[in-house]
Structure 1
Amino acid sequence: MTKQYHITGMTCMGCQSHVESALAEVPGVSHAEVDLKEKVAHLDLKEEINFEQLQNALAGSIYEIHEEKPEPNLAPLPEIKKKKPEQNGSGKYYCPMHCEGEKTYDQPGDCPVCGMDLVEEASSNTSAQKYTCPMHPEVEEDGPGSCPKCGMDLVPKEADESQENKTYKRLLKKFWWSVGFTLPIFIIAMGGMIPNAPVLSQLSVQTWNWIQFALSLPVVFYTCWMFFERAYKSIITWNLNMFTLIGIGAGVAWIFSVVGLLIPDVFPAQFKTESGAVHMYFEAATVILTLVMLGQVLEARAHGKTNAAVKELLKLAPNQATVIRDGKEMVIAIDQIKKGDQLRVKPGEKVPVDGQITEGKSTIDESMITGEPIPVDKKSGESVSAGTINGKESFVMKAEKVGSDTLLSQIIDMVNQASRSRAPIQKLADRISAYFVPTVVAVSVLTFVLWYFFGPDPKLVYAFVNAIAVLIIACPCALGLATPMSVMVGVGKGAELGVLIKNAEALEGFNSIDTLLIDKTGTLTEGKPSVQQVVSGSNHSEDDVLQLIASVNQQSEHPLAEATVRYANEQGVDLLSVEDFESHTGMGVSAMLDGKKLLIGNRKLMDEESVDCPERLLKAAEDEQSKGNTVPMLAVDGLLSGFVVISDAIKSNSAAAIQELHEAGLKIIMMTGDNPHTAKAVAKELKLDDYIAECSPSDKQDKVKELQAEGRKVAMAGDGINDAPALALADIGIAMGTGTDVAIESASITLVKGDIKGILKARKLSHAVMKNIRQNLFFALGYNALGVPIAAGILYPVFGLLLSPMIAAAAMSFSSVSVISNALRLKAKNI
């Protein structure tokens, strides 16, 4: 049996792991799984157990278990002083290995779990452009002009350097300092291996050892001291990681050398040279640390490329705009724009915020948001988005969404959150990593023991060197980076293609989808229906039918309703005021006019309201429906009085996209609120596997449940409020970016352009990312499976080969870089 309990006190993935382990050890619990986001524990019980046993398992910790969801603590929270964020950054930092899921920090530093340098999240907040004087840099103004001190023209001030680049430069500087001190140590150590030892002939061995010791101090205690700090932190918190192994390996080698230098008599003869001096390992320790530093430098540089998509999106946001106030145009900072402001967008400029054109027309390049290269013609009354580029004409727009509400800002925030989310496959790497470091330490100890008892002379030397090599080469960093790097690059690639992925789970899950439920209007069709014909009965004229339908529909936001209102306005029809407007979900609408009840909708609504339907009108409506047209009917006081014929053209690329989705193995079912005749015509033209007409929101939701009960993995694509329940229930919900906010919020994936071709892109992207993750995991696991035995000396009995700790350090550093490089290949993937 399975029971659910509520957990309080958890803040990160480390907390989740601790609670899972503690509860799993309770007698009678066969399996424990904790959901960090929902704060619940799901326990598989072999038998009924006392709740006190579960409480005792967490006793003494900050976590508490509850049978019922605890009431929220409404006590006032203490004021928290937040660190002022960097001028050009977000002030949010996260671990690139996502050790604690989506957790962020308010200042730079090291991850408390794995010790990696925290990475700054790209911010969607655009700071205003500042101007400064070339001669007096302390002068800063909000706009161009002249310097108040010397009169020189002010110039734009360069943006502050990103924290990410500062980290890279800091590590690079330390690396070169390490090289400067390590290279002489390496030359001295290697010089002793040259015949006649020309280096050693200048000074005694003991003197050279003291020189090596002196040169190693800056490397150990300055440039690479952070590795030992991280190792110490990992041990006292028992979050064992790559720095645990590096700290133990390099630290033991250096301390051994210092003791051998100061009190050589404590060592047996096996560790001494012919001159009686203990063999030093200063070069091994410093070379290992320097190579690890090189790996950190290369990783820091590579991290900058993994979220390049977000940075490119950030570049789209302009930092100033031209506002029209009191009939005058003035340039203001982007953060000073208010909702309702009239803005002038000149040729070649970027659209500053989301809004609607009120005067003029132009051609807009939306490729940076939609992924489609063809510019779009825009005229008065049409919407434009922040970051898109104006063509060769000027226009005036009204600001409707500013700041973080713009589409561009929402895209950036969604990409940031998705990049930090954890794919389910990451659990595999987490389980391996949890046992990896202790296992490596055990293998290292075993290596020492085996070489000491069974190795050749000098046994202690061989045992010591090979044990260190095992510690150094077995770096879990590549394993930890395997999944998050691919997810981060994949999410960024999706953003470039106009495919916004809410979380990594959706990115992974889409790869296993076998059934696609898809809406018709706005998804398979253009979603821009137009009235083709008005048909009336004997008791009303065509003008009357159009007037009544448009009068009721003016209160509806449905695309079909908007089409009838637009057509009535074009025909010069006066619209009447109606009362008691009501929407009948999935069927139509109703209202009262001069005491008469008006019904507008499909055949299902007419049947439910027991409307009297003349055979002639029904036959004419069915004929139009068989042609693929939509036919909203009008009933006045219980009598069918006419209908309008509305056509909605199928999108030009729908057929090709459906064919490719079929070839990818997906079963495609169209679900629409439209009538069966129209649905059948569209399904036949697109060669769909099945269709269901006259669907209500509950019908779509029930179909998702039915398919899931059959064991199928279901994706649902839609764009309306009526699609939201099914989008939320489906394994993967796909919302059209041209649809409603409710649908987008309910979905896991959003297609910015609202094009079915985007579904195909999302499918290919999911496949490419999962393939890349599996490659990374195979490489990381294969590397360690091969490297650890070689470092332990498995090749020595047959080939006489041993792996130097320095070579092991180089291999360890480049293993992580190779995983990142493989993930970066996704950027060039043709999808």
Structure 2
Amino acid sequence: MTDQTFRFAVTNLSCAGCAGRAERALADTPGVRQASVNIANKMAQVTGTADSANLRDALARAGYPAAESVHRLSITGMSCASCTGRVERALQEVPGVLSAHVNLATETAEVRVLDGAVDVGELAKTVTETGYPATPMGEDTPVEPASETAPLKRDTLIAGALTLPVFITEMGGHIFPPLHHAIMDSIGIQTFWVLQFLLITLVLAWPGRRFFRIGLPLLVKGSPDMNSLVALGTLAAWGYSTIATFAPGLLPEGTRAVYFEAAGVIVTLILAGRWMEARAKGRTGAAIKRLIGLRPDRVRVERDGVFTEIPLSEVETGDIVEARPGARIAVDGVVLTGQSFVDEAMITGEPAPVAKSEGSEVTGGTINGQSPLTYRATAVGSDTVLARIIDMVQTAQGAKLPIQALADKVVRVFVPVVLAIAAVTVAVWLAVGPDPALSHALVAGVAVLIIACPCAMGLATPTSIMVGTGRAAEMGVLFRKGDALQRLDSAAVIAFDKTGTLTEGRPSLVDQFTAGGIGPEDALRLTAAVEQSSDHPIAQAIMVANTAPLPAPESSETIPGYGLRANVDGKTLLVGSPRLLTEHGVDATPIQNAIDRFSDKGHSLVCLSIDGEAAAVFAVADQIKPGAKAAVDALHEQGLKVAMVSGDSPAAAHAIAGRLGIDHVTAGVLPDGKVDAVKALRDAFGPVAFVGDGINDAPALAEAEIGLAIGTGTDVAIEAADIVLSSGRVAGVVNAVEISNRTMRNIRQNLFWAFAYNTALIPVAAGVLSPAFGVQLSPMLGAGAMALSSVFVLSNALRLRRVAPAQADAPEPAFREAHA
């Protein structure tokens, strides 16, 4: 059984410690080769052969159950229990499926899956391929886990409403003594405390119950998380206050005080912080939502000679689909009838609409222009270009960067260490603290527990990755692997393949010289007349350049290795290399200076002689792509070396490199030689990023520290690369480097502030400043600071959404909503 990778949602995750424990639980499951858990989108990604139910059970034992969902299918063609058994087995073999039950009487299937691992369309396709046509019942399940924003908002408002009277009366009494005296004179201290007890107990039991439901069982299991810290801190404050209210004799003399307001404010502030986190995290996945939104819900497909609207999930390969003016192309296909312009900016990043006619390929998610098209579906579901792009982005967003390893190591031991620090803090205050020592110890211990929650550490890396890779996708840069972000940031040299990457990949006429009184147009017309029977790329370049009607040759003869001889308009013509003229005794002196000049530039030459006289020489070359020079200059400005590796002749390669300002050239190499060239560049300069587009570039793309494939290139090159530049523009390389640099800088900022926050404030919470300055941090302030630290990290990551393309001529943005 081969390894398979799939993603699914995990619940109860609230900090990096949770993600680490869930990740280790998955990694320890038999059959798992690699596992990662992303705290930002609360998704797990698993590679291996492990059974889905075993993964679910492992997470349940760890205290972080996998989210589950149920899909239903309508199935035809079943006639006995053997049929249902076959369908059930087929479904159970799909990664992410937990159980499948097929009902023969109702001809339906109910499939329970790990949420986000598999959609209903894939399940229907699996059953259909087994031999029993299946269609989804109901709507597709979203890829993303359900948003927590609404329930968190509700709980925050409830907690705030219940806590506010306690906070105002208790803290207001300290700030404004007449308020305290009024309360004492009216209801008395005992009634006042009982009312606080009732309100705050309701806070803990209602909106705050989530902390106890998750945190306390994990504490009992010996694997406490952030919820455990909050639960311990609030329970300590509430428990001490409850004893002081109802059993004051159990406390030492002079220590009777209540901290109900601290427990209530802590819960309210942390819930508010999580609410803000949820809102911010919702924005981090905006790029994926926009990509998913490119899929139309319903499609017009030909059925029995009539176009009928059906759900997108029911479209099959080979269906004939209609795209009305202004409508989205539903799936990938080939145009059968119609002529139109299609806006492909959301896929390729190219702003100009592309002409489409019979035989043209169209891509799902793009927008048809003002004329109708019909096309035959060639790829549907997960096989479409858009689905593969979504999968690339989701895979990258779920990846774990090497830089995160340090944070993971810290978080793994962080909560136990915090518990130990809190215990030591309480012990020290009890031993040497001023009276009332017990009250001071309680405040310090609770403050340590609350302020030390490692939320910001866990969010620091994944949120930046999500926003950075999403923004990159909008610019036409697709990170197939998340760790490519970090590896590209460390690259010292960018090496380009020449043909098809820096150049157009096809020769064109770039210069010409005529002699003997013949005009340039006539010379080109006669040369094209001789070349019209040839399919050589250089001959095609001559043909494309000519716009005049072509006479038919009266006779034509190929001279292998040299060129052609033909009679046209009563003239004897030779067309080919300079050697052809020499071999036939033609004096090339009239055009020799042009031959030398064009040769020095690395151009391919086509010479023309008429009736034994040298008449013209044409220079043919692979043109440099628009924006290539600007891209090389931009890379130089970023402090990078730029190299070119090519199979072309040294003269041609150096000519291109000179025009582009490239630092290092390796020319005349075979495909395996490109691998050696990458190794040599690494030895000379450091980590190498290689940019290519062809099959012959795949070994070099795999050898380099980071491989970037031009999206217009071959599938082999794209599969070998870490990053795909969907637009095919060289500017994409500059944008990839820019987004990598900006994202890594953002991650380092987040990690610094997350670590600095905990490093600086835990000692303050423990009370180290109290002896010298009389400063002791309130648990309420600690809760506010903890919540704000997470919001700061998220807000900093969201700044990446505003990263602009590094080159002014780069398309902006890809995956945008067009005029439809």
TM-score (normalizing by structure 1) = 0.70
Match for residue 746 of structure 2 among 772, 780, 793: 772
Counterpart position of 1:403: 381
CA contact (8 A) 2:529 2:550 kept: no
Counterpart position of 2:157: 176
Counterpart position of 1:222: 206
What is the SS of the residue equivalent to 1:323? Answer: strand
* Matches of 2:167 and 2:35, distance apart in 1: 54
Match for residue 790 of structure 1 among 764, 784, 799: 764
Give the letter aligned to residue 317 of structure 1.
R
Match for residue 430 of structure 1 among 408, 419, 422: 408
Residue range with higher mean Cα deviation, 494-503 or 382-391: 382-391
* Matches of 2:678 and 2:740, distance apart in 1: 21
Counterpart position of 1:826: 800
CA contact (8 A) 1:191 1:199 kept: no
CA contact (8 A) 1:721 1:743 kept: yes
Query: In the alignment, does 2:778 pair up with 1:781?
Result: no
CA contact (8 A) 1:175 1:294 kept: yes
Q: Deviations over 1:7-32 (max 9, x none)?
A: xxxx99659879999xxxxxxxxxxx
Counterpart position of 1:68: none
Counterpart position of 2:366: 388
Match for residue 421 of structure 2 among 443, 447, 450: 443
Task: Show the 5 A alignment for 1:110-125.
Answer: none
- Give the superposition deviation at 1:411: 0.8
Counterpart position of 2:191: 207
Counterpart position of 1:511: 489
Counterpart position of 2:728: 754
Q: Deviations over 1:607-651 (max 9, x none)?
A: xxxxxx979489999986655445899xxxxxxxxx998643211
What is the SS of the residue equivalent to 2:709? Answer: strand
What is the SS of the residue equivalent to 1:37? Answer: strand
* Alpha-carbon spacing, 1:187–1:76, altered in 2? closer, same or farther (3 Å): closer
Give the letter aligned to residue 695 of structure 1.
V
CA RMSD of aligned residues (A): 4.5
Task: Show the 5 A alignment for 1:567-578.
Answer: none
The answer for unaligned runs of 5 or more in structure 1 is 1-10, 22-34, 40-71, 89-103, 108-118, 128-140, 144-156, 273-278, 535-540, 554-558, 575-595, 602-612, 634-642
Counterpart position of 1:365: 343
- Give the superposition deviation at 1:747: 0.6
* Matches of 2:330 and 2:802, distance apart in 1: 30
What is the SS of the residue equivalent to 1:797? Answer: helix
CA contact (8 A) 2:262 2:779 kept: yes
* Alpha-carbon spacing, 1:776–1:251, altered in 2? closer, same or farther (3 Å): same
- Give the superposition deviation at 1:319: 1.7
Query: In the alignment, does 2:260 pair up with 1:263?
Result: no
CA contact (8 A) 2:236 2:442 kept: no
CA contact (8 A) 1:120 1:164 kept: yes
Aligned length: 662
* Matches of 1:313 and 1:565, distance apart in 2: 42
The answer for unaligned runs of 5 or more in structure 2 is 1-7, 9-18, 37-47, 58-65, 73-94, 99-113, 123-134, 513-526, 564-578, 608-616, 806-820
* Alpha-carbon spacing, 1:381–1:692, altered in 2? closer, same or farther (3 Å): farther
* Alpha-carbon spacing, 1:267–1:561, altered in 2? closer, same or farther (3 Å): farther
- Give the superposition deviation at 1:445: 2.6
CA contact (8 A) 1:519 1:671 kept: yes
What is the SS of the residue equivalent to 1:349? Answer: coil
- Give the superposition deviation at 1:422: 0.7
* Matches of 1:514 and 1:182, distance apart in 2: 56
Task: Show the 5 A alignment for 1:596-607.
Answer: none
- Give the superposition deviation at 1:816: 0.5
Match for residue 170 of structure 2 among 165, 189, 196: 189
What is the SS of the residue equivalent to 2:254? Answer: helix
Query: In the alignment, does 2:702 pair up with 1:728?
Result: yes
Q: Deviations over 1:754-788 (max 9, x none)?
A: 11100000011011101111111121112122222
* Matches of 1:159 and 1:246, distance apart in 2: 37
Query: In the alignment, does 2:479 pair up with 1:482?
Result: no
* Alpha-carbon spacing, 1:506–1:236, altered in 2? closer, same or farther (3 Å): farther
Give the letter aligned to residue 160 of structure 2.
V
CA contact (8 A) 1:700 1:723 kept: yes
Match for residue 329 of structure 1 among 307, 324, 331: 307
* Matches of 2:660 and 2:367, distance apart in 1: 35
Q: Deviations over 1:364-393 (max 9, x none)?
A: 222222334333333443322211122222
- Give the superposition deviation at 1:313: 1.1
* Alpha-carbon spacing, 1:230–1:826, altered in 2? closer, same or farther (3 Å): same
* Alpha-carbon spacing, 1:435–1:84, altered in 2? closer, same or farther (3 Å): closer
Counterpart position of 1:235: 219
* Matches of 2:312 and 2:698, distance apart in 1: 34
Counterpart position of 1:69: none
* Matches of 1:280 and 1:674, distance apart in 2: 82
- Give the superposition deviation at 1:652: 1.5
- Give the superposition deviation at 1:497: 0.4
* Alpha-carbon spacing, 1:18–1:165, altered in 2? closer, same or farther (3 Å): closer
- Give the superposition deviation at 1:728: 0.9
* Alpha-carbon spacing, 1:161–1:714, altered in 2? closer, same or farther (3 Å): closer
Match for residue 231 of structure 2 among 236, 247, 258: 247
* Matches of 1:560 and 1:509, distance apart in 2: 40
* Alpha-carbon spacing, 1:566–1:312, altered in 2? closer, same or farther (3 Å): same
Match for residue 34 of structure 2 among 32, 37, 40: 37
Query: In the alignment, does 2:709 pair up with 1:712?
Result: no
* Matches of 2:70 and 2:745, distance apart in 1: 37
* Alpha-carbon spacing, 1:492–1:471, altered in 2? closer, same or farther (3 Å): same
CA contact (8 A) 2:328 2:366 kept: yes
Task: Show the 5 A alignment for 1:435-474.
Answer: 435-474=413-452
Counterpart position of 2:672: 698
Residue range with higher mean Cα deviation, 342-351 or 767-776: 342-351
* Matches of 1:400 and 1:785, distance apart in 2: 57
TM-score (normalizing by structure 2) = 0.71
CA contact (8 A) 2:116 2:145 kept: no
Query: In the alignment, does 2:638 pair up with 1:664?
Result: yes
CA contact (8 A) 2:493 2:685 kept: no
* Alpha-carbon spacing, 1:308–1:330, altered in 2? closer, same or farther (3 Å): same
- Give the superposition deviation at 1:454: 3.2
- Give the superposition deviation at 1:518: 0.8
Q: Deviations over 1:212-263 (max 9, x none)?
A: 2222333222321221233234434544432232122112212222333343
* Alpha-carbon spacing, 1:739–1:162, altered in 2? closer, same or farther (3 Å): closer
* Alpha-carbon spacing, 1:563–1:250, altered in 2? closer, same or farther (3 Å): farther
Counterpart position of 2:518: none
Q: With CA pairs under 8 Å and 6+ residues apart, which has the higher RCO, 1 or 2?
A: 2
CA contact (8 A) 1:339 1:401 kept: yes
Give the letter aligned to residue 828 of structure 1.
R
